[in-house]
Structure 1
C-alpha cells in the first residue's frame, strides 16, 4: 500500500544524541557547583550517572519518563548532600536547555521539507526532546512521547496511537528509526512498515528484525518513498 504517513524516531535518527547528553551533564555539574555546591562536591558526573542507572533498575516504572527519572535521582543526591531541594528544578531547567541543543544531521531539514510534500509526518520517541525548543515542531502534525502516552516503544499501542492521531491505518504508515528492536520490530508488530535508519553503515545482526527498507539519510528515504508512491 502507498504510504500516507511517515513517523520518525528522534534521538540518533534525526540528530546524534550521545555527545549532546555528555555535554549537558557536564554543564549541569558546573551549574551544580555554582548553585548547589554540596551536591557537586559529593557527586561527580559519573556518580550521578551511576546513581540514575541504579534508580532505574530499582524503579523501572520511571523509565517511561526520563525527566522524572533524572529529577528523582537529583532529589536523592540533594537529600544525601544536605543541599536545598529548591534548586532541583533550576538544575533540571539548565540540563534541558543543554539537552535540547541538538544539531540535526545535514539531510534532515531539507529532507523533511521534501517529505512533507508527499505524506503526513509525525514523531514517536522514548526520549524527552522538546521539538518546539529545537525548532522542528512545525514539520510534524503529531508528536507522541512515551512519557505522555504512558508506555515505551516497542509497545504497539504507542505506534497505533500516533497513527490514530494522524487519521491513518497502521498499514498506511511507515516508521523510521535507528533501533532494530524498539523501532523496527516495535513498528512492525503494530502493523506499520519500518525503515531502519542506518546512518553508520552497520550490518544487520543475526536474528534481528528485518526492516522493510534500510536508509542512511532522508534523501535515501525520499527515494524509497517515491518508489513506493509510483508503484
Structure 2
C-alpha cells in the first residue's frame, strides 16, 4: 500500500476529461473529406469517411505500434489510400494540416478554465495524453508546467513510464501526485500502478468501474467536485 502524501501536483488527461472529443473528431473527418474532394478528388470519390476509417483501423490492427501516434496512423492510412487510387501524395501535408487544425478546435467543458485557474493557486498542474491535442493551438498550454504526449515520449498510458516521467519533470514524487482522467484502464489503473492517486473523471454517471473491478481514489463528475475532494486531501 502506498503511503500517500499531501498532493503537490495534479496531472490531467485531455480528451474526454477536459473536453468532449467524439464530436470534434466527427466534424474534423467531415471537413477533411470535403478538403479531399477539392484537392485530392480521387481519394474522396473512392472512399467514404467510414471506408477511410475502416482502412485506418485495419492498419492499426496490423501494426499496433501506431497506437503511440494516432496522427501518424492517420497519415499512413491516407498515404496508402492516395497510392491506391493514384492520387498525388504531395497533397498529404495539406490534408493532415487541415485535419489537425479541425481536431484542435475543441471546446472545454464549462468547469475547466475556472477549475484550472483555481487549482493552479494550490498545486502544480501537468498533462499526460495518448492523443494529438496541441495545447498551444487550443490556447491552454500556459496552465500546465509539463505536458507529455505518448507520440513524443515513446510510451503510452497505461505504461507507468509516462506517469513517472511527468512526475520527474514536475519535481514531485508519485505519492504526491494525483492523476485525473476518464479512462478506467489507461488513466485510473495506469496511474495507480505507477504509484499515483487516480481520480476517475466520470462526467456521464457510468458504473463501469464496478464491472471492471477498478477502484479509483475518487470519482468526480466535474472539476468543482475534483477541487472539493482535493481540498480535503490538502487538509486546509
TM-score using structure 1 length: 0.99
Q: Which runs of 5+ in 2 are unaligned?
A: none
Cross-structure match for 2:224: 219
1:1-231 maps to which residues of 2 (within 5 A)? 1-203=5-207, 204-230=209-235
Deviation readout 1:43-69 (Å, 9 max, x if unpaired): 110000000000000011111011110
Instruction: Return the offset for 1:206.
Output: 2.2
Root-mean-square deviation (CA), in Å? 0.7
Q: Is the Cα contact below 8 Å between 1:7 and 1:176 reproduced in 2?
A: yes
Q: Is the 8 A contact 1:3 1:174 kept in 2?
A: yes
Number of equivalenced pairs? 231
Unaligned runs of 5+ in 1: none
Residue 151 of structure 1 deviates from its aligned partner by: 1.1
Q: How far apart, CA to CA, are the structure 2 residues paired with 1:202 and 1:56?
A: 28
The runs of at least 4 consecutive aligned structure 1 residues that moved more than 4 Å come to: none
The CA deviation at 1:207 is 3.5
Offset at residue 80 of structure 1 (A)? 0.4
The 1-side partners of 2:224 and 2:83 are apart by 49
CA distance in 1, matches of 2:95, 2:154: 25
